Copies of this chain bind each other. A is one copy, B any other.
Amino acid sequence: MTYEEIWEKAREVMAPNCKACPVCDGKACRGKIPGVGGIGSGRSFTVCREYLDSIRVLMDVIYEPGEIDTSLELFGRRFDIPFFLAPLGGMNGNYNGALTEEEFNRAAVEGMAASGGFAFTPDSPGDAVFRAALPYIKAAGGLGVPTVKPWETEKLLGRIREAREAGAMAVACDVDSCGNLNLKRAGMPVFPMSPDTLARIVKTAGVPFIPKGVMTAASAVRCADAGCYGVVVSSHGGRVLDDSPAPCSMLPEIRAAVGDRLKIFVDGGVRTGMDVFKCLALGADAVLIGRPYAVAAHGGGAEGVRVYTRKVLDELRDVMLMTGCRTLSDITPDKIRLG
């Protein structure tokens, strides 16, 4: 299957919830929740692409050529690529139910493992969604990061235990789901994350713990103080608070505040290897990609995930070639210009 065939197929099976647009920028689905859009005015989603598009990249081809290496170390393992599949749930509520949660999670975990990366997997009201991914993560040797909602502490710790028992190499928690309307409606209490609770979770988790939904330097410092392995700088795809800035726009000050105390992941509007490059230059260690992987999985299952991953990797390597970056650590802030 080619990228074009996968997107064409996805357009058929995802209608009308997602249009698998040529550029996935949050305009066609503006304000559609449930659905795949951004909340309210939709600006928290659309601003992501506007910000990424405004960044210029500086070509530099006068350098000693050599092999390009896109690998990085996380959780004591080495990965071939610096971008991963973001946690995506609600196949029935937000998408149109063409894939079950099981089918999607299998495509996500297996497709990413076969690509030299891994998937973050989702949580939701009820246990089924969270558990859907665990067997695939176990089968993949722990390659996967289950992502739990900010439930009350005991339930949250229970979820972490399940993940650890499945061999998951780390656990994330999308703390910004405390404003998620779907969860409110389902009567499942979720909460902001107290720094004390966070420290307790980190201490008892037994695996690296990564809060997702950090947008300020102050929040990131609290996560570092609590002993977290990393954070995901994220506005939850623009779905939990209107008028958020592009997460990647916050990277420079977050990196300046935490130095190398945390691994910094980021998501929000990332579509291409060029976008991955820009996020790394802004200060991220690695990048999460959401909606395009949903399209890839709907259009081609695990193979769709592999094909799209390959496309993004090829793009990233092309940009690295043209900017004199042989390793990810060469992708420094001076490689870009803010608009």
Contact = CB atoms under 8 A, between A and B. Distances in A.
A59 interface: yes
A195 interface: yes
Interface in A231-256: 235, 240-245, 250
A13 B91 CA distance: 43
Contacts of A40: 274
Interface in A179-226: 179, 191-196, 198, 211, 213-216, 218-219, 222-223
Interface in A315-339: 318-319, 321-324, 337
A175 interface: yes
A15 interface: no
A179 B57 contact: no
Contact of A63 (B65, B194, B323): B194
A165 interface: no
A62 B220 CA distance: 9
A28 interface: no
Interface in A137-158: 150
A43 B211 CA distance: 35
Interface residues of A, number: 53
A58 B215 contact: yes
A56 interface: yes
A192 B61 contact: yes
Contacts of A191: 65
Contact of A179 (B175, B196, B318): B318
A58 B216 contact: yes
A20 to B, nearest CB: 18
B244 A57 contact: yes
A325 B334 CA distance: 36
Interface of A: 40-41, 43, 47, 53, 55-65, 150, 175-176, 178-179, 191-196, 198, 211, 213-216, 218-219, 222-223, 235, 240-245, 250, 274, 318-319, 321-324, 337
21 contacts: A47-B56, A56-B243, A56-B244, A57-B242, A58-B215, A59-B176, A59-B241, A60-B216, A60-B218, A61-B178, A61-B219, A62-B192, A62-B195, A62-B198, A62-B223, A64-B194, A65-B194, A176-B322, A178-B322, A241-B318, A245-B337
